Structure formats: structure tokens, C-alpha cells
Structure 1
Amino acid sequence: MPDSPLPSPPVRGDALERQLAAQKARRTGDPLLSLVVPVFNEEESIDVFLDAVVPLLERDRLRFEIVFVNDGSRDNTLTHLLDCSGRDRRLRIVNLSRNFGKEAALTAGIDHAKGDVLVPMDIDLQDPPELIEPFIARWREGYDIVYGVRTTRPWDTAAKRLSAAWFYRAFNSMSPVRIPTNVGDFRLVDRRAAEVLRQLPERNRFMKGLFAWVGFNATGVPYERAQRAAGSSKFDLWRLWNFALDGVVSFSTVPLRASFYVGLAIAAVAVLYALFIVSRVLIFGIDTPGYASLIIVVLLMGAIQLVSVGIIGEYLGRLFLEVKARPIYVVEGVYEDGAVRPPQA
């Protein structure tokens, strides 16, 4: 009797469906939603944000908390937040001892959130809170991460849209960790994915990359990015450039490898050119004056060496910060229920 054929291994689609079904079976309860909102000098945006978000979450009958992370604001942001938390016990304020940057503030919010699902979002309402309900719906289907995909960005300048497209293309071509195009920090993160994020110790944090690095089942929800509701952006072109540089250096060693290959190619060209010059002199007796070309070559090589040293310096600088192992942020206090409690150890 011939052997019966072995069943074919399940394809990725079958495996994904099984994973989603397993997670869906566990998500039948009423989850606690934690909104994580970093703020820096945003006193004029707080009321606008709360007036838009709180009624929406109440309408959808969601259990929620809003974790504001005050990233060393120099205006009356903290005072205003404390007044609001006194009126609504669902608000908590994590007050950092100084300005550590948005990535550190977002990390602090994730560390202090109590929810079963976390949604990081900006206070400017460019990412619509109406998307939270579709996020929850996809989470109930079994997905661990649900991110918003910006289909259009009409309120961004042409230069910003173009530079963003270049960055996503460059990052994904160099990094083994791919980040979805036109996706920011606005997303839903399941508790088990958030627990993995809490274990990542690096000081130079690129959260878009870290969200992608943890893996898990993820899907996108498209939306149109709105105009800023109040206040002004705290990111200028220089800060955006440094942010992009942090992302590339944190997740790729391609710049180091590229500098090696550039040096190797130039060395090969130099050897070939040297053989050509020697051959002309020995065989044909042709002298080769070339002061100008010599200067150009020297300047070009010097520039390439400086760029290579600069690339190495970027990596060494980040290694220097990581070795010191300073905390990512320092919490002055956590304010909730009208009182302040000391920061977690």
C-alpha cells in the first residue's frame, strides 16, 4: 500500500489566521485604554485636546486613562494639567525633571501606563482620535499593533513631505527592520508588546523603529492627517534631520560599511591610475605634469576621510552614551487623584 502524502506545511496566511484567532479568543473583556500624550510647552492645546478626546471616548463607552508626560515645559503646561487632573481622576501626569526629548517622554508614558492597550498620540490632534475606535476593533480581531497610515498630508509643506518620503525609503533600504511608510507614533499597542518595549534599554531611542523591532502581528488603518488644532510644532528642520540621523544610526551599520567600500573603490582606482602613469613614463617616455589634478585628488581624499571619520564618530558617540548607562529619563513626580506620589524605583 503506498504511503499517504504528507500534509503540506501551513502557509504564512494560515499561521497568521491561527495566531489572530488565538488572540481574539482572549480579548472578550472590556480593556483599559491608556492614551500616552507627551507635552512640551503646550498649555494652549490641553483644553482643545481634552474637549475633543474625552467626549469621544465616553461616547464609545471605553474605560480609559490619559497619561500626560510633561517633558520639562517652561510655560504653564504643568499647572494647567494639574488643574485638569483635579477635575478628572482619569488624568495622570508624569512630570519629568527636565526636557529629555519626545522619544524619552514617550518611553516614560509607556512605562507608567496601566492599560491593557496603549495609544501614543500627539496633543495637536493632527492624528484624529476618531481612529481609536477602529484601532480597538482591529485589536479585538487579534492584532497586537494597529498603526495609523497617513494617506495624505495636506497641511505639511512640500519639502517636509518630500524629505519624509526620502527618509522612509532610505531607512528601509539600509535597515533590516522595516518601518511602514507614512506611519508615525500614533498607533495601538497591546500590553504584551508594550512589556517588550519596556525591556529595551537603549538611550538613543527611535520609537518608530522600536515599535517595528518588537514584531508581533500588526496592521494599518488609513487616515488623512489633519491640521494642527492649536499651538505650533516644536520640530524644525534641524531637529528633524538629527531625528532621522538617530533613526538610521540606531538601526543600521550600512553607513560604516559604505565608507569601507568607498575607500576600497578609491584605492582600486588609485592603483589602476598609478599603473597607467608608470606605464606611460616607462613605455612611451611621456612626462605627466599635474599639480592641479594632484591638489584635487588630495582635497577629495581629505574630504572622504573626514566624512568617514564623522560616520565613525556618530557611532562612537552613541556607544559612549550607552556605556554610561544613564537613565533614559528622570521623573520628578507622578500626579494623580489630586496628589503626588514619588517616582517608581
Structure 2
Amino acid sequence: MDRNNYFITLLVPVYNEHESINSFYDEVTRTLHEIEGHYEILFVNDGSKDDSVQIIKKLIARDSRVALVNLSRNFGKEAAMTAGLRHASGDAVIPIDVDLQDPPELIIEFVKAWLDKGYDMVYGIRVDRSQDTPLKRLTAGAFYRVFNVMTNKVHIPVNAGDFRLIDRRVIDAINQLPERNRFMKGIFAWAGFSSYGIPYERPERHEGSSKFNYWKLWNFALDGIVSFSSMPLRIWSYIGGVLAVIASCYMVYIISKTLILGNNVPGYASTMCAILFLGSVQLISIGILGEYVSRIFIEVKNRPVYILENIYRNSKSSVSHGETKEVELSEEAADTNESRQ
């Protein structure tokens, strides 16, 4: 890679982040003056209902390095990441959150490791999560341990998020994946290639509030495990086998006791305990099966991961995506569009 002629795409998913966009843009552009190559900031609007799109269009009108991939509705962050990877033009792509919890100055270290050491993927490792609640730190650590145990061929680095530099050949490999259930951390690890981790301290969010709650995080973790491991299905085969052995032994005990000592009055408590326990085990196992069946159902329908409304670029931008329909913005067009709204 030519040190003076490379192109970086910053991939920035956005969902109701109008408070953070301008400060993010100012911080990133100030930091990226230090790199020798060229760059673009590719925002992906995931169905925001606030003024995020209008703010980004203003940035596009005055800076040809800014572009917007606008989705038709909210499809989720993983779908937004997929859209961004498919429309990024860079020799390397860096997914980064707009809330500045991913420090832009670390991009310089990513680029150095990519150029000097030849790594195909350079990711950030959070060494300090003190800004998170104790419960979030506990559940996050448990997720990484459980995921890596269940998926022994796909290893996610502990405390590594989406913030990373991804070389073009890794992106091309990921873009070939047809699956609809997207868990990007797992996909990044599954792709392989040479990787390198850089530790950093993650600051607090500058503006706005997180769009993730514990329920969404739980479903996100469940998607990750089910997408990359069949062990939950296998575990219930083992549990069923163990329970069958225990039940057989207990049956032999009951029969022997009845033949030797006769039949006493049946115990209501023991019968109910057995019924409730086995019933709950069966419901849990059916639920696990349902998780996999629901994902088969989604994949078989073969719907697209996202629907694109439009791509917006500056009229002076030299970047193009071939046959993809794009809307060119000038400063006058952006002002006219805003006055209409």
C-alpha cells in the first residue's frame, strides 16, 4: 500500500444522533489532518426520526468528503453496518460510533499498524470500562466468555467492539456473505486474516444517550451465540440423555421398592416436582429450537438486509458507486431542502 496514496472510509451508523453529529465531524476532521492519505466520512442513517439527516446534508454540502447512505427505515445497527461496508469506497474502512466514545485519535494508530505492520484488521480493546455500570461490565464479560466457549472456531477478542480498521480484501470477503441474521463482531472474527489489538480507554459519551437497553443487549447477545454456534442444540441432547438415565434409575428404584415393600400411598409433592421440572426442561428446549427455526424462517424468505432510500454526496465529490442511484448536493440545494422542511 502506497503510504501517500491510500483512501480511508469512516463508517458512521446514525440513529437519532442529531446532538452528536457536528461535534463528531469537528473532532474527526481535526484528527484526520494528521494522516497522509485521503478519507471520506460515510454516515449511514438507520431511519432516524430527528434532524440527523438534515444536519448530515448540511455537512455534505460544504465538504465533499462527507456522504450519506440513507436507509428507508430503521433496520438495526448490524444492517446499517452491512450497508456501509457495501457502499464504502476506501482501501480500508473504520466503523466508528458518532458519540465519540471511540476516540478518533486512535485512528492514527490503526493506520500505522495497517501500513507499517501489514495487518488486515486492527481493532481497539477497551481496557477501562469504569463508565459502564457494574451489571453491564459483568454481563459483557460473561458474554465474551460464553461466546468463545461455544464457538471454538470463532474467537472474539474480549472487550473489542466494532471500532476497528478493516482492509479492503476483508471487506470484499464479508460482502460475499448472504446471511440476513448479521452479528458483525462474529463476522469480523469469522473472516479470519491477520489481526492486531490496540488497547485504549473508552471515554464517556459526549452528547445524547445510548439507544441500547438491557433487553436489546440480551437479544443482541442471543443473536450472536445462535448465529455462530449449534452448541445450545447439542447441550439439550446431553441434558436429555442425563435426565433419561436418572429417570431410568429412579424407575428401577420405584419398581424394586414396590415389589419388595409393597405399594405405599403415592406422594403428591414428588409427583408434582417431577412434572414441573421435566415440563420446564421441555419448554426451555423447545424455546432453543424455536430460536434456530425462526432464523431459518428469516433466511428462507430471502429478504434483503436493508432497503436503500438514496445515497447523498457533494456535487464536487469524485467518489462514485457505479449504477447506484445517488443524489448530489450543493450548498444551495441543501439550504433549499431545509427551507422546504
TM-score of the pair, normalised by structure 2? 0.91
Percent identity for Structure 1 against Structure 2: 52
Asked if 1:174 corresponds to 2:150, the answer is yes
Pair 41,342 (structure 1): closer, same or farther in 2 beyond 3 Å = farther
Asked if 1:185 corresponds to 2:165, the answer is no
Contact 2:41/2:67, CA 8 A, preserved across alignment: yes
Secondary structure of 1:129's aligned partner: coil
Determine the C-alpha separation between the residues in 2 that align with 1:310 and 1:285: 41
Determine the C-alpha separation between the residues in 2 that align with 1:291 and 1:62: 77
Determine the C-alpha separation between the residues in 1 that align with 2:190 and 2:67: 28
Contact 1:104/1:205, CA 8 A, preserved across alignment: yes
Pair 218,171 (structure 1): closer, same or farther in 2 beyond 3 Å = same
Secondary structure of 2:140's aligned partner: helix
Correspondent of 1:270 among 226, 238, 247 = 247
Secondary structure of 2:105's aligned partner: helix
Correspondent of 2:92 among 99, 111, 117 = 117
Asked if 1:96 corresponds to 2:71, the answer is yes
Show the counterpart of 1:33: 8
Written as runs of structure 1 = structure 2, the 5 A alignment for 1:312-331 is 312-331=289-308
1:155 counterpart letter in structure 2: Q
Secondary structure of 2:223's aligned partner: helix
* 1:286 Cα deviation from its structure 2 partner: 5.6
Determine the C-alpha separation between the residues in 1 that align with 2:36 and 2:134: 39
Show the counterpart of 1:66: 41
Q: Which moved more, 1:217-226 or 1:27-36?
A: 27-36
Determine the C-alpha separation between the residues in 1 that align with 2:265 and 2:290: 38
Determine the C-alpha separation between the residues in 1 that align with 2:300 and 2:165: 32
Query: Which digits, 9 at most, give the CA deviation of each residue in 1:99-152, with x for residues without a partner?
Result: 000000011011100000100010011110111111111111110000000011
Correspondent of 1:344 among 320, 324, 333 = 324
2:169 counterpart letter in structure 1: R
Show the counterpart of 2:231: 254
Contact 1:105/1:329, CA 8 A, preserved across alignment: yes
Show the counterpart of 1:43: 18
1:151 counterpart letter in structure 2: V
Determine the C-alpha separation between the residues in 2 that align with 1:344 and 1:261: 50
* 1:62 Cα deviation from its structure 2 partner: 3.4
1:145 counterpart letter in structure 2: M
Determine the C-alpha separation between the residues in 1 that align with 2:135 and 2:277: 30
Determine the C-alpha separation between the residues in 1 that align with 2:136 and 2:2: 39
2:108 counterpart letter in structure 1: E
Determine the C-alpha separation between the residues in 2 that align with 1:27 and 1:143: 15
Show the counterpart of 1:280: 257
Correspondent of 2:198 among 208, 214, 221 = 221
Determine the C-alpha separation between the residues in 1 that align with 2:284 and 2:54: 46
* 1:59 Cα deviation from its structure 2 partner: 3.0
Contact 2:96/2:163, CA 8 A, preserved across alignment: yes
Correspondent of 1:107 among 52, 57, 82 = 82
- The structure showing larger relative contact order (alpha-carbon pairs under 8 Å, at least 6 residues apart) is 2
Contact 1:333/1:342, CA 8 A, preserved across alignment: no
TM-score of the pair, normalised by structure 1? 0.90
Secondary structure of 2:33's aligned partner: helix
Determine the C-alpha separation between the residues in 2 that align with 1:37 and 1:301: 48
Show the counterpart of 1:295: 272
Gaps of 5+ in 2: 326-341
Q: Matched residue pairs, number? A: 320
State the 4+ residue runs in structure 1 displaced beyond 4 angstroms.
26-29, 338-343
Show the counterpart of 2:333: none
Gaps of 5+ in 1: 1-25
